[in-house]
Each structure stands twice: as structure tokens, then as C-alpha cells.
Amino acid sequence: MTAPAPLRLGTRASALALTQSQHVADALTAASGVPVELVHVSTYGDRSTEAISQLGGTGVFVTALREALHAGTVDLAVHSFKDLPTAPTTGLTVAAVPARQDPRDALVARDGLTLGELPPGSRIGTGAPRRMAQLRALGLGLDVVPIRGNVDTRMARALGPDADLDAVVLARAGLARLDRLSAVTETLDPIQVLPAPAQGALAIECRTDDTRVRELVAVLDDPAVRACVAAERAVLTALEAGCSAPVAAYAELAEGEDGAAELYLRASVTAIDGSDGVRGSISGPAPDAVDLGRRLAAELLDRGAAQLMAMSR
């Protein structure tokens, strides 16, 4: 019998992207018996040294991968779901949303300190405007500064021999995938710092008309994670905000009183200087995930979310 042709999986070349993509490749081969080879694709977001907020909107880490899919040079691509623009892309589909890592943010600080133990004036670095806004809103007197670089580069800003910061805040999911959790000094409670929409989740994208790949990849889909991410990203869509906006959203599933899955969604918009913010929550049946996200976004808009986002541009 002829061995199946290997699938070509497009991935960014960063350590985190490669780890995520290899995890998907291994899971896909284990489930289907089809070999998967990684194809490195360089994106504008990887090449640029600009701050995340200055990179020109959503999609800076995914455009080249999508171009490779359209060109047929790769069969599927793995994205950090939070990096994907919310608008659908003609000819491409998210064929699977695998099991999600812990979506919370994590603090990596000198001397094992927690957020509350950092003295006023401490310099804390992060690449996300959302984190910057929420950290400033805590009123702890921290000097929050923008940083770029891969996970290890960011951690070295707080822990290395040439450290120039007291702490950095990173996605816990990335630290877990890279086996760096031992450096975490505190996992931040969403009550303090609410995660980014789809943080910790992966999106496996392929061509819509590629029935073989869609069917192979579908086995990795986690319907519960897909519902949570759909609700979170619906907030972004309704707010007309991108992945670099100071918008947070986090959905969880639980069993309702009638035994059916109930989705609980929280979201917030915070001024970049931390001076003001709006936060709300909503719950309802899991099949209504997108509608719940839209309704919560409408509530936030009624309470001034658009003005807060405008202050952050």
C-alpha cells in the first residue's frame, strides 16, 4: 500500500510557534496515521521591531501564512487564535480548535515577587496594550512599559544578568507550551487582569475546498473550546476592535440547572492609561455563544467602550 502523502503545515519560526505547530502535527499523525512536515513561513509581525500597538492592526502574524495556504505551498496552518482577524477570509476556514491551554496571564518577577509585592515605581514590561491598560488600572503605582521579543527574550528582561525590568507579564499558555512555568511567580486572577479574547487557544486553518484536510483535522476540534472562543471573539467583532486593542474577554462553560451547557462570559475595555474602564458579564446557553458576545459588547458600547478605545489609539 502506498504511504499517504505528508501534509505540509505552515508555521511561524519562533520557538513558541514551532512548539505549537509540532504539537498539532504529532496529534494529527497520531489520530490519522498521516505524516506532517513543518514549513517555516516568515511574517511581517516576526520581522518588525515595532511595538505591537504600532504594527498596523490585526493579521500581522498571519497574513503570510494565509498567502501560503492560498498559493497551495502549505496544506494547513496553525495560528495563535488571538492573532487572527475576526473577519472571515474567503477560501479559508478554521477546521479545528484544539483543547485550550490556561488562558490567564502570568507574572515573571525578580526575587519571586507577586504583583502585590512589587513596590511602587517598579518597571513591568508587556507587549499587549490590553495588559498595559489593566495593569495601570490596578492603581499599584507600577511603571508599565512596552516590550517586544520572543518569550525567552522577554523573560530575560526581568530575570537575566542584564535585566532592566522588575517583572514581565506574559500569556501563561505560551510559558506552559515552552516548559517555562517554573519561572512564573504569580498566575494573575482574571478579576485583576482579564485575558485577551481566544488567549491560550489555537486555530488550525486550511482551504475551504480541501475536503481531505478538513476531514483529517476535524478530529482535533474541541466543541467546548470553539464555543468559548466564538463568544470571546464575537465581543471583538461587535466592538470593531482588533487584537491590539485594550479589549479583554473570557468565557467558561459549566453545567446549567437543566443539565445543558451554560456559557459564562466576561469582557472589559480599559483606557490605555488605566484611568477608566467598563466591565460586564453575561450568561446563556452554549449554542448562543456568538449572540452572547454581541449582546455583551452592545452593553459595553452603551457604557462608553468606544470612547475608551478611541483614547487608546
**Active centre residues (catalytic):** 83
Selection from 105, 103, 100, 149 nearest residue 131 by Cα: 105
On whether the CB atoms of residues 118 and 143 are closer than 8 A, the answer is: no
Sequence-distant (6+) residues with CB within 8 A of 246 are: 129, 130, 132, 133, 134, 269, 270, 271, 272, 308, 309, 312
* Residue found by looking up cell 478554521 in the block: 94
- Other beta carbons less than 10 A from residue 254's beta carbon: 10
- Other beta carbons less than 10 A from residue 133's beta carbon: 28
Which pairing describes strands 105-109 and 36-40: parallel, antiparallel, or unpaired? unpaired
**Residue 296, phi then psi, degrees to nearest 5:** -70, -40
